[in-house]
Structures are given as C-alpha cells and as structure tokens.
Amino acid sequence: MLSKNLLVELFVEELPPKALKKLGEAFAGTLSESLKAQGLAGADSAATPFASPRRLAVHVTKVLTVAPDVEVIEKLMPVSVALDSNGMPTEAFRKRCAKVGRTDLVEKWPNAEDGSDRLYVANDGKADAVFMRSMAKGTHLQVGLENALEEALAKLPIPKVMTYQLADGWSSVNFVRPAHGLVALHGDEVVQVSTLGLNAGRETQGHRFEAASHPVVLRSADSYEAQMEGEGAVIPGFAKRRAEIVRQLEAAAAGVGGGVKAIEDAALLDEVTALVERPNVLLCQFEPEFLEVPQECLILTMKANQKYFPLLDAQGRLSNRFLIVSNIRPDDPSAVIGGNERVVRPRLADAKFFFDQDRKKSLQDRVPGLSKVVYHNKLGSQGERVQRVAALASEIGARLGGVKSGADLARKADQAANLAKADLLTDMVGEFPELQGIMGRYYALNDGLPIEIADAIEDHYKPRFSGDELPRNDVGLCVALADKLQTLVDLFGIDERPTGDKDPFALRRHALGVVRMLIERDLPLDIDQLLWDAKMAVGRDELLDFIYDRLTGLLREQDYTPQEVDAVVSQRPQRLGEVPKRLAAVRAFAALPEAASLAAANKRVGNILKKAEGEVQASVDAALFQEAAERALHAALAQVEPVADAAFEAGDYTASLQVLAALKAPVDEFFDHVMVNADIPELRTNRLGLLGLLHRAMNRVADLSRLAA
C-alpha cells in the first residue's frame, strides 16, 4: 500500500481573529484523527496545522492511498438456536445468515478453518455462540478524506455560522466564513474530494498584494509551506508567524535603545498573528504631551482599539513610541507609519479629554449619582450596594485593627468603600470599563485623598484573576473582602448561583479571592462571623459549602494530596489563615509510623459513633470500667489530651498531632480486648463515651480518618 504525505487547505474569507488559533488546531487535529480512525494514517503519522487569516490547512505524514482490509467479527446467535441436535444449521440460523448476506457461508457449514470469511463457534463469556468472521475492504483515500473533511468542519469550535449562496445561485451552505478554494494533495496528486460546494485542486491564493504569482500552483503536499512563503508571500503557520512577530518586535524595540521593551500581552500577540499573513513591524510615535494622561488609559486604547504594541522604558513607564504590525512590506513605509500615527492621535486625544473632564468633579461629588445606577433588579442600586459594602468594610476594619487602631482602620475602610465605585460614573471608565478602580485611584489622588485611600480604591477589585496580587494595604484588604463577600451574600440570597460552567456574576472568582486573602494574609477572621457581619439570612449553608469547595480546589492545585486536603477542610476550619499550618501538621503526622494505625482506628471509632443509638456524650464513669484495656486507654487520654489541647490553643498544630502517637498502643489494645457494644446498657454507654473522648481528642486539628487507606 502506497504511503505519501497529505496536504489539505481550505481557502476562505477573513476568519475571526480571536478564534483563529483554535480553529486551526481543531481543523488539523480532527481531520488527522479521522484519517487514523479509518486506517488511512498510522499512530506515527504527524499532523502539522496551518492557520492564517484566509486559510485553514493541515499537513499529515504517512497517509495511505487505501487503508488495509479490516477483520470484522460479528456474533450471530447462540449455538442452542443456530444448530440442531446434529450440529447442523437451523432454519432460524439460515434466515440470520441471509439477512447479513452470507448464505454462501451457511451452505458450506462447517466452514474451513483457514477461510478468510467463515462461520465458527466460540464462547462469548456466557455460552457458546456462532460468530461470523469477514474481511472488510479498506477505505479508499478519496472516500476517507471526504469523511474526515466533513467531520473536521462539523467539529470546528464556531459559536455562529454564516449561510451563503454557492456559485450556482440556488444552493447554500453554512460555514464560519464563505469558502472559495479547496486543495487536497496526496504527494503530488490531487485527491478528488469536495466540500462546501468546492472541488479540490492544487491552486490557492497567496498574499492579496504581494504574492509573486496568482494563483499559487502547489507542486506537492511537501512544497506547501515553502511555496506559500516564497511565491505566496504568506507565512501559513500560526506558530511560525507569531514567532516572527516576536522577533521583529524585539528587534525594533532594541533599535530604540535605552532598555525600551514592547509591552508583553499574549492575547494581543495571538490576535495580531491572526490578522496578518506577512508581518512587518514598524516604529511609530505620538506627541509627548499625551503622556500626561495615565499610562493605563493610553496603553488600553492602543492595544484594544488599534492592536498596537506600546513601548515601555526600563522602569515600566510608557514612552511616546509604539510598534505596529503591518500586513505589507513596502519599500518606503513612511505612508504606513504616518497613517497609523494619524489614526492613533484622535484616540489619545479622546483619552486626554476624558481625563481632563473627569478631574473637574470629585469622587465624593459623584457618589450620590450611584443611587441612579441599577445594580440588580432584586438588589437595588449601586448606591445601596455601596452602603452595604461600606458597613461590612467598617466591621472588618474594626476586627482587624483591634483595640488600639480598630476605629481608625474602620473609618478609613468606610471612606474607601464609599468612594470605590464612584469612578463608574466617569467618562473614562464609561469608555473603558477595564479601567474601573485604576481611574478611581488617579482621581482620588487628584482630589487630595491620602495614598492609603487611593490605593484601596484601586485594590478593592483584587485579586481579579488566578495568580493576581492581593491589595497593598489593610484598608484595601478590608474593602476587597467586603466587596467580594457582600456580592456573594447578596447573590446567594436571591438564589443567583453558578450552574455548571455558567457563572455570569463571577462568584467563583469572588469566593476564591476571599479564600486567598484570608489564607495568604493569615487574617484573624472567622468565616462564620464575616457572614453574620454581612447580615446573611438566606442561603448561608449553601454559601459556606461554596466557599469551602473553592478552598478545596485551591489546595488541591497546590502540593497537597486529596487525603490531606479532605482531612483539614472536612473540619470546616473557621479561620482559613490556619489551614496551611493544619495541612503541614497533617503531613508531619502522616509520616509517623503510628499514623496509619491511628487513622484506621479513628475511622472505626467514627463509624461506631455514627451507628450508636442517640447522641453519644463524650464522658465516662471510671467506676464502670471492667477491662484493663479501657482503663489504660482512659489513662493515656488523660495524659495526652491536655498536652494536645494546649498545643492546639497555642497554634502549634504539628505538636498537637504528634503527641497523639502515644495513643497507638492503648487504642490497639482497646479494640483487641474490649467489646464496645456490650449487652449491659451502662457498660455500652460508658464505652461509647470513652470513644467519644478519643474521637474529640484526635480530630481537633483535622479528621484523621480521611488519611486511612
């Protein structure tokens, strides 16, 4: 069977830039996997994706012209039905063979052992049955490739498709963008396939303006990339084109000197890669006077609106130069540079106008306007929300500040919380919602507010995403905690909770932010008390479950085993800041030689107590002890528990668990020699009470039974 490399290209109108990378990977991956599933490509076949603004393509190595014949085994019916007492075919068996088109095999029963197609008897795991073995002809590439194309197009991650007419004026097809050409080359031969109303050939189009030839006639599957780059003036590979843009950006920035670097933004880089076929990086500039505007505004407008790469100096400050990625390479680029400089100037002028206008009105003067902004139709206005957040921030400040400075921190937290949402009413944030909080900080400083308050206004949105930094100061921490907690309390209170992969109010992110702040800043705040401070009445248990689920997920992403995490989180610790210390204690305990036995015993104790009738009181009457083993366990507990409790109260969780190792021998002896569920009720109650004492002593830091195998 002949094996050659295969090239398939679909030439289309401009594809959605933000989706191009995924489209290219999906097209190549699905098509190559389909060929493998049909036997036309082996496990060692390699697929190389290509994706540019106007094409999706894939190069697959070692593709067969015809797939190998495949052995097919089909169970027909049980022997008891298929054969009579003499071992000959019954009428039912003959009808079954006729139904599958193999009367020839039943007429020659019993079939020869070496026949390629034959009937035979084998056990199916329950009883003997008659099976049919046949050889199915391998799929021809033309058929298999059409199947693969249809599957690849059907599985493209396209949220919305277009419906457009074909050239005949009657037919229409659905696809992400109108398709105009199809290439399918097996080696140097065209595979006669069709899709989307197109018949495959070897011609494609290169760069709109700079291709050396129109069309580009592809010689073979293996010449595709070289011909597209040479004759077509197109870099078809997404990764290669992206790397070329990075190389040119770095070279252009280095040419400016002074440690200047292009801003790093992977999403912007991917989008620009999806917008050009022949990248050409050029250096532009704007008037220095615009640098009076906060650089976040200028950077955002250049990136979001123009897809430019701002240049930052060695200290991270914006310069008045920026880089563009052009799709053409003229001998004299001055017209391209001048055009882009003219385009960006009105954008920067708008930003400067917004900044100048916004500073004419203080944040405090904007606060009343929040009462006219709807937050949620069931939760009132932003103004009402701000009042709730400010009240909670003040409570948190009072608790964090303590006796000496609690009132001061509470006052500052209240002030920052009241101003935190005021920048939502500014022109700048209205134009660029991504700048909320950031602009609030600038306007607070312009109003003469302390840096502590200004930082808190920006930081109350932190952490915005996984791995983001936490608020810089205690005031920001109070407001950020209050803002996220109040959002959770409000929305859980009206039953607006995440479902599946839908989380329109980003409640998972809010809960994770709360967890991170409590843990990473080791805040002395109880989670239950925080919810009471937030005046949560409805959905409390569900919200607590939600928060502990986020805690579990966060810890499992770190260097902890599921057993260690479950042991700690199952105890629902109130102060999340203590969780890392508890986890460290559990890990140290698990390394002890006595750990496995004690964990198993703890699990056994828990099961016994769960099955006990009524509530078990963790107390005993020593006068009722009859066995030496129960006396020994009670005595050991009397020695160990005070030491463990003292270490626990001191926050030394490792020591609190380590001392429990002394209980291994008396616990083992107890279960070896004592019948807990004694017939005499008083004895049974007393022994259950002893186990209750043991259970309480062993599970203050963590539920050690979760460590049991």
- What is the tens place of the pLDDT at every residue in 50-87? 999 999 999 999 999 999 888 788 888 898 888 888 88
pLDDT of residue 223 exceeding 90, the answer is yes
Q: What is the mean pLDDT of residues 353-373?
A: 97
**Residue 273 pLDDT level (bands cut at 50, 70, 90):** very high
For residue 465, what is the DSSP state? S
Specify the pLDDT at position 404.
Answer: 62
366 close to 421: Cβ distance less than 8 angstroms: no
pLDDT at 537 over 80: no
Percent of the chain with pLDDT over 90: 80
pLDDT in tens, 433-475: 999 999 999 999 999 999 999 999 999 999 999 889 999 999 9
Nearest C-alpha neighbor of 282 from the set 335, 209, 233, 235: 335
Backbone dihedral angles phi then psi of residue 558, each to the nearest 5 degrees = -100, -170
d(CA 403, CA 691): 42
User: 171 or 41: whose pLDDT is higher?
Assistant: 41
Reported as a single tens digit per residue, the pLDDT across 391-425 is: 999 999 999 987 567 789 999 999 999 999 999 99
Give the pLDDT of residue 169: 76
Gap between the Cα atoms of 179 and 195, Å rounded: 10
Measured distance CA(551)–CA(567) in Å, rounded: 13
Q: What is the mean pLDDT of residues 285-289?
A: 96
Cα dihedral sign, 490-482-432-302: negative
Average pLDDT over residues 221-234: 97
The tens digit of pLDDT for each residue in 628-654 reads 999 999 999 999 999 999 999 999 999
- Whether the per-residue pLDDT at 20 is higher than 90: the answer is yes
Query: In degrees, to the nearest 5, what angle opens at C-alpha 95 toward C-alphas 91 and 100?
Result: 150
pLDDT given at position 270 = 97
Q: What is the spatial distance between Cα 50 and Cα 491, in angstroms, rounded to a whole number? A: 45
Statement: residue 313 has pLDDT above 80:
yes
Domains detected in the chain: 3-67+140-230 (3.30.70), 70-136 (no CATH), 238-358 (no CATH), 380-421+434-558 (no CATH), 581-707 (1.10.730.10)
Total H helices, total E strands in the chain = 27, 20
> Distance between CA atoms of 309 and 323, rounded to whole angstroms?
5
Q: What is the pTM of this model?
A: 0.82
Mean pLDDT of 189-196: 94
The pLDDT-based confidence of 667 (bands split at 50, 70, 90) is: very high
